[in-house]
Chain A
Amino acid sequence: MEKKNMNLTLKIWRQKDAASKGELREYPVKDVSPDMSFLEMLDVLNEQLVAKGEDAVAFDHDCREGICGMCSLMIDGQAHGPDKAATTCQLHMRRYKDGDTIVVEPFRAMAFPVVRDLCVDRSAFDRIQAAGGFVSVNTGNACDANAILVGHDTAEKAMDAAACIGCGACVAACPNASAMLFVAAKVSQYALLPQGQPERAKRALAMREAMDAEGFGHCTNEYECEAACPKEIKVSNIARFNREFLKAAITAD
């Protein structure tokens, strides 16, 4: 079947900086190949804007293969767009048809302030990680790797949680802008592994506290996070995090 190029209309959020007011502006894009990625389509638009002397649309991106977690667009109200288990950079234009209008906004959450246009500040995630998302082991302190046995299935489960790319789609998709899935994934990875045991309770408490301090909302079991997650992190991690937190809170000194 012959693939035909498309003409589209984009409605893109433009905002000069954190302090300015933003608005949706309309841009036509012509001759879009269905094999382009969504970000490549934005590249084409930006080349056209720069050639006309206009400011390019700012959007975060880097690896363009779905692993760095940098890209972060709300496309027609969906974090990372309509495809399941995909980041924005993995979304291809074959998903759209000629004449479509697409609304493109930044991830929206109080804890993710807009930096410019479609870029947001997700440093809240770094601060949560710094509060407890680690195993305290200085370089040089390790024992032989095979002295720590981890069963195959446990390792796989830990890996399922560790696959999080920290993009923030879970927060953007949640009506409460809750960061529970992100935090739960990290807490779960370490709670499942023997290496995480000594700091298990402390970690759950510290990361929970840091999360609340950043202004993320509470979890009300909407499951929107799981639906939006490009790495298919499961909400069962949130259940585990809740257990970890409760156990730690009850047994804390």
Chain B
Amino acid sequence: MKLDSKVPTGPIEKSWDKHRFEMKLVNPANKRKFKVLVVGTGLAGSSAAATLAELGYQVEAFCVQDSPRRAHSIAAQGGVNAAKNYPNDGDSIWRLFYDTVKGGDFRAREQNVYRLAQVSNNIIDQCVAQGVPFAREYGGTLSNRSFGGAQVSRTFYARGQTGQQLLLGAYSALMRQVGAGAVKMFPRREMLDLVVVDGQARGIVVRNLVTGALETYWGDAVALCTGGYGNVFYLSTNANGCNVTAAWRAHKRGAAFANPCYTQIHPTCIPVSGDYQSKLTLMSESLRNDGRVWAPKKKGDARRPQDIPEDERDYYLERKYPAFGNLVPRDIASRAAKQVYDDGRGVLGGQAVCLDFADAIKRIGEDKVREKYGNLFDMYHHITDENPYKVPMRIYPAVHYTMGGLWVDYNLMTTIPGLFCLGEANFSDHGANRLGASALMQGLADGYFVLPYTIGGYFAGTKLGKVTTGHDAFKEAVAATQARTDKLLKNKTGASPAVLHRRLGRVVWDKVGMARNEKGLKEALTQIPALREEFWKTVSVTGSGEEFNQTLERAGRVADFMEFAELLAKDALTREESCGGHFREEHQTPDGEAKRNDDKFCHVAAWEHKGEGKDPVRHEEPLTFENVHIAQRNYA
């Protein structure tokens, strides 16, 4: 396997322009001859499907939910970054590029990040034109707020529902094309295999989740926009349905998986309250604009936070990082919270610290706080039964986003020709840590402004034979999928898939979570395969494959997590350094910050599947930093 990133050479400011010019074009009349299958309808998938259809391509789009509008992008709260510099505070494309490369701890491709910063401005324009109701000033111009890892206000938002509003914008564009007959939409379908013909991605096998039937679809290219793998930890801020299945099955068909160990633990989530818990809820990073993070100074302080006097509180982020204060990047804020807890200073002795709005309410008033964050406060109140306008929120880090994903080149194409990967599902733009409000930016950049160009370059430069779903490769993929389903349905007594998922999550969180070390990772690498074996022996899946069967859906996803978790641990063990969200306890500075090893690990690790039971092979794509000076991150 050869990793050719295809990044353009020459000055970075010109690289995307140059690349777009050098790519061959498909003329407007020929576009209708090509069919693209888009899997997933979050920000990346909806925006890609709509835009490709506008250009004239035939598009078929698939999602697991009952409607494309429900993809998990909808839950993104805080905002979307762009280098508009509307607040006149010194922002620029270069600064957004710089902050993102630095925020990612120098483990992302410079050219990709630069392109992301460039198109960020087009995204805001496009979304506004669609009628996305962003927050506005009284004069009618757009409002901005700040997010972690930046000293400028470049985040656009729609209350605490920015993801929802951006997704509904992309969904409206998608439904417009569905209404026009340019996109065929297939909801309640789950992709279970990729079909490769003559080395090119030419189709997919999906399960119709209502009837249980395995269906096949052919295309000239396939775009996976299927999100991240955070649910490998069982508890995360992801929706329950989020999974690695589509990406993992593509990986097993030849797509390299890059940097699986780069997982983001978000610092501000509602703490775990019991064993039955099915998910963790995020409290948006935007809250750190006005909320102050603190923990008791005294170890084992059993008082309720509201009873702890001001001089006995440690505003540890403001103390340790005066320049960025509460707005340090996520990985740093999360580790700081863990250090406080490890030090015995968790609130009420538990895994929690405070996020306090008392000062903000005093400064700008409760009404203004409600206007900015009302829905987040309500959400907190619903879950905890505590009123955050009156008492400090209790928060703790939780798994939130995954920077790793399928390896893609500058064109967003995986190592399988014709298989593209967009949004959180790919590995490309965030390096080892994603800055807040950059996920929405990347998903929409990929879908609206990158794939629509690069897919034309692929079609114009590639010979594609005629393929239909009658091809043997489709029959083979369906037979393999059917065999797997039958195997899952064998047992009718034993543990439910959810129970085994919870056990897997505990191993991954304990040993491959916020802090990792060689001993723990090696233990995980014995425990995960053992648990996987137990899964296949004991998992109980009731019902049949020929009906609506959520237990079977869950079992298939957990089975893939059982395989994927091993690769995640292996990648974490091999990367003998700390960077961004990947923290190896053996590699830290005297202050407990992540210590990179640029001599040995300034590269992307991309894993190649070599067959069942065989060890995957690790490939390296070297990273060079010609525009942003590589250095130890400093937010103090």
Contact = CB atoms under 8 A, between A and B. Distances in A.
A58 B547 CA distance: 11
Given A115-B548, A189-B133, A92 B383 contact: yes
A229 B159 CA distance: 19
B281 interface: yes
Nearest to B51: A139
A140 B55 CA distance: 11
A66 B179 contact: no
B175 A55 contact: no
A159 B493 contact: no
Contacts of B277: 40
Nearest to A186: B172
Given A40-B276, A134-B172, A140-B122, 16 more contacts: A47-B499, A53-B540, A54-B542, A56-B542, A62-B241, A63-B70, A126-B68, A134-B176, A137-B129, A139-B51, A139-B54, A142-B126, A142-B129, A145-B134, A154-B136, A155-B135
Contacts of B179: 130-132
Contacts of B541: 50
Contacts of B467: none
Nearest to B165: A162
Interface in B134-171: 134-142, 158-159, 161, 164-165, 168, 171
B438 to A, nearest CB: 18
B278 A40 contact: yes
A40 B136 CA distance: 38
B452 A196 contact: no
Interface of A: 16-17, 33, 35-37, 39-40, 43-44, 46-47, 49-56, 58, 60-70, 83, 85-86, 90, 92, 94, 115-116, 119, 121-123, 125-126, 129-146, 148-152, 154-155, 158-159, 162-163, 165-166, 189-190, 193, 195-196
Given A33-B274, A146-B86, A63 B75 contact: yes
A90 B495 contact: no
A56 B131 CA distance: 41
B274 A134 contact: no
A132 B122 CA distance: 24
Contacts of B281: 64-65
A65 B626 CA distance: 43
The 3 A-B residue pairs with the shortest CB-CB distance in the complex, in nearest-first order: A149-B140, A130-B179, A142-B129
22 contacts: A36-B276, A40-B276, A40-B278, A43-B278, A50-B542, A51-B495, A53-B492, A55-B542, A67-B75, A68-B65, A121-B66, A126-B185, A126-B187, A132-B179, A134-B130, A134-B173, A135-B172, A137-B173, A154-B136, A159-B135, A162-B168, A195-B128
B519 interface: no
User: Which of B142, B176, B379, B449 gathers most chain A CB within 10 Å?
Assistant: B176
A150 B140 contact: yes
B355 interface: no
Contacts of B158: 159, 162
Contact of B379 (A47, A61, A65, A166): A65
B543 interface: yes
Given A47-B499, A63-B75, A151-B136, A130 B176 contact: yes
B584 interface: no
B536 to A, nearest CB: 16
Contacts of A55: 542-543, 551
Contacts of A150: 133, 136, 140
B273 interface: yes
A145 B84 contact: yes
Interface string B467-499: 000000000000000000000000011111011
Contacts of A90: 379, 382-383
A43 B172 contact: no
B385 A92 contact: yes
A85 B131 contact: no
A84 B334 CA distance: 34
B128 A116 contact: no
B550 interface: yes
A196 B133 CA distance: 11
A247 to B, nearest CB: 19
Given A39-B278, A51-B540, A65-B75, A129 B175 contact: yes
B72 interface: yes
B69 interface: yes
Contacts of A158: 131, 133
Contact of B176 (A115, A136, A142, A149): A136
Contact of B66 (A53, A123, A130): A123
Nearest to A39: B278
A150 B136 CA distance: 7
B50 interface: yes
Nearest to B135: A155
B501 to A, nearest CB: 11
B210 interface: yes
Contacts of A33: 274, 276
B239 interface: yes
B515 interface: no
Interface in B513-544: 540-543
A150 to B, nearest CB: 5
Contacts of A149: 139-141
A136 B499 CA distance: 47
A66 B70 CA distance: 11
A166 B69 contact: yes
A133 B548 contact: no
